């Protein structure tokens, strides 16, 4: 099995996460690094989406990935093996989210590899990760069709703070009571400015639109 670096991250020592996050964002901008924070429920397809996206963009950018999990290294190994980009595993030691200080512990390792596009795959959780600014340039989330179109009503903060919402697993829409129009309406109710992109990470459908969105954001950040 491929080996990936595993970092057991420590609790942050900073008193104000918001301040630390702003400082990290500024530092990344001055170094010309774009940081994407990707969030979702467990099993919504974060790793598969990243695989497809990275394979479309890795010839244009020097990409590095941080996979945050409470336990297990399977995601970092998958990314390393199937995309070839630098991938590290962050073990949160039971913690349900990452904050800016924790993100920085992973970034220090990626920056040594001279990357310009860093991706943080956050812990699978629609609640806590929304409460902690990681210092990311942009926040993205995935809502998958089987979870249902009512989720923006139940997890308001997550949908409010994300710049882009991917609606994943659209290939199985015929088998679920999922109303796409209602879903987009619910997302826009929480966040009128959110970009919504339906995708199927398994087949790659729609991932080109997400890659285009990312290219625009990265360009705007320089």
Binding residues vs its own copies (CB under 8 A): 41-43, 69-72, 74, 94, 96, 123-128, 131, 144, 146-148, 150-151, 153-157, 169, 171-172, 175-176
d(CA 62, CA 19) in angstroms, rounded, equals 28
Whose Cβ is closer to its own copies: residue 172's or residue 211's? 172
- Cβ within 8 Å of residue 133, ≥6 positions away: 17, 18, 21, 22, 99, 100
Which ranges of 58-128 does DSSP label H, i.e. alpha helix? 74-83, 100-111
Phi, psi of 53 (to 5 degrees): -65, -45
For the bound state, the minimum distance from the C-beta of residue 60 to its own copies, rounded and expressed in Å, comes to: 30
Whose Cβ is closer to its own copies: residue 49's or residue 137's? 49
For the bound state, the minimum distance from the C-beta of residue 169 to its own copies, rounded and expressed in Å, comes to: 7
For the bound state, the minimum distance from the C-beta of residue 46 to its own copies, rounded and expressed in Å, comes to: 11
Task: Return the CA Rg of the chain.
Answer: 16
For the bound state, the minimum distance from the C-beta of residue 204 to its own copies, rounded and expressed in Å, comes to: 16
Whose Cβ is closer to its own copies: residue 86's or residue 169's? 169
For the bound state, the minimum distance from the C-beta of residue 197 to its own copies, rounded and expressed in Å, comes to: 19
For the bound state, the minimum distance from the C-beta of residue 53 to its own copies, rounded and expressed in Å, comes to: 19
Whose Cβ is closer to its own copies: residue 184's or residue 211's? 184
d(CA 206, CA 30) in angstroms, rounded, equals 31
DSSP 8-state symbol, 43: T
Whose Cβ is closer to its own copies: residue 24's or residue 194's? 194
Task: Indicate the SS3 state at residue 218.
Answer: helix
Taking alpha carbons only, the member of 12, 217, 3 closest to residue 116 is: 217
Query: Rounded to 5 degrees, what angle do the CA atoms 171, 124, 145 make?
Result: 20
Whose Cβ is closer to its own copies: residue 128's or residue 211's? 128
């Amino acid at each position: 099995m491929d080996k990936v670096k595993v970092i057991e991250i420590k609790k942050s020592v900073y008193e104000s996460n918001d301040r630390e996050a702003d400082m990290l964002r500024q530092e990344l901008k001055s170094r010309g690094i774009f940081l994407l924070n990707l969030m979702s429920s467990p099993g919504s397809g974060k790793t598969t989406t990243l695989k497809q996206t990275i394979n479309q963009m890795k010839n244009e950018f020097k990409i590095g990935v941080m996979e945050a999990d409470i336990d297990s290294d399977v995601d970092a190994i998958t990314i390393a093996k199937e995309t070839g980009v630098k991938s590290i595993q962050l073990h949160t030691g039971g913690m349900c989210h990452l904050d800016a200080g924790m993100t920085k512990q992973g970034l220090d390792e990626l920056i040594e590899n001279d990357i310009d596009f860093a991706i943080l795959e956050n812990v699978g959780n629609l609640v806590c990760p929304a409460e902690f600014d990681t210092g990311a340039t942009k926040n993205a989330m995935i809502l998958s069709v089987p979870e249902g179109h009512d989720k923006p009503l139940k997890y308001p903060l997550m949908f409010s703070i994300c710049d882009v919402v991917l609606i994943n697993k659209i290939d199985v829409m015929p088998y679920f009571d999922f109303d796409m129009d209602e879903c987009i309406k619910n997302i826009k109710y929480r966040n009128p400015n959110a970009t919504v992109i339906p995708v199927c990470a398994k087949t790659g459908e729609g991932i080109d639109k997400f890659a285009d969105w990312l290219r625009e954001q990265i360009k705007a950040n320089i």
